[in-house]
């Protein structure tokens, strides 16, 4: 269901788009919350059109189909957003990695955590750049909020990784009780 919602959301915030456009947008704007490949997006858009959530308003050059959100689609997105029981499901490979890194030897864990921190620093730079070039959304002011969340979350993981690396090294070099 979430893929449907994500697509409806993107069609709302970016206006009429092709499946190709939406696939790219999954990589840029919404990437820190959800991902989908074109092989999942195209069939889903067809189903959504069959269900009356979107319409194909025009067909362009290379068989390009431009999808527009329909009233029924707006209704469905709205209902999902207002619905009371939000499932808090989350699957983050990065967080899992972070969780398990301390099972390595202290010096290995610390080194790896610092490498992770670097990846997040790079990601952060990308996001900051995106923020600076914030001209790509139809509703002005919309993307900024989401981007801000992405930036803060990335920063928090980065900082955690650095601090944890330092603490692990400190604990290994200066064992308080033993082990």
| 51 counts as binding DNA under rule CB under 7 A | no
Q: Which does 73 bind (CB under 5 to 8 A by kind): a second copy, DNA, none?
A: none
With CB under 8 A as the rule, give the number of residues binding a second copy.
Answer: 58
Q: Which does 20 bind (CB under 5 to 8 A by kind): a second copy, DNA, none?
A: DNA
The span from the CA of 135 to the CA of 19, in Å, is 21
Is-contact 77 8, C-beta < 8 A?
A: yes
Residues in the chain: 179
| 3-class secondary-structure state, position 59 | strand
Q: Which does 171 bind (CB under 5 to 8 A by kind): DNA, a second copy, none?
A: a second copy
Closest Cα to residue 13, out of 47, 1, 21? 21
Rg (CA), the chain: 21
The span from the CA of 11 to the CA of 141, in Å, is 16
Buried b (16+ CB within 10 A) or exposed e, 115-127: ebbeebeebbeeb
| 80 counts as binding DNA under rule CB under 7 A | no
State the virtual CA torsion across 155, 157, 158, 163 in degrees, nearest 10.
Answer: 120
Binding mask 42-81 toward a second copy (x if CB under 8 A, else -) reads -----------------------------------xx--x
Quote the least distance from Cβ 37 to a second copy, whole Å: 11
Binding mask 88-127 toward DNA (x if CB under 7 A, else -) reads -x-x------------------------------------
Which positions touch a second copy (CB under 8 A)? Answer: 2, 5-6, 9, 12-13, 30, 32-35, 77-78, 81-82, 86-104, 108, 112, 116, 119, 123, 139-142, 145-146, 148-149, 152-153, 156-157, 159-160, 164, 167-168, 171, 179
């Amino acid at each position: 269901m979430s893929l449907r919602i994500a697509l409806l959301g993107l069609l709302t915030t970016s206006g009429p788009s092709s499946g190709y456009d939406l696939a790219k947008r999954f990589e840029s704007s919404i990437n820190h919350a959800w991902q989908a490949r074109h092989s999942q997006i195209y069939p889903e858009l067809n189903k959504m059109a069959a269900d009356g959530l979107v319409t194909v308003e025009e067909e362009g050059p290379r068989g390009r189909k431009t999808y527009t959100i329909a009233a029924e689609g707006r209704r469905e997105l709205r209902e999902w957003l207002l619905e009371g029981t939000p499932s808090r499901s989350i699957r983050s490979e990065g967080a899992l990695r972070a969780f398990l890194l301390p099972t390595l030897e202290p010096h290995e864990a610390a080194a790896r955590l610092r490498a992770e921190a670097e990846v997040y620093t790079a990601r952060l730079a990308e996001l900051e750049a995106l923020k600076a070039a914030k001209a790509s959304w139809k509703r002005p002011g919309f993307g900024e909020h989401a981007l801000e969340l992405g930036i803060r979350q990335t920063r928090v993981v980065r900082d955690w990784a650095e601090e944890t690396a330092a603490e692990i090294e400190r604990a290994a070099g200066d064992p308080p009780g033993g082990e």
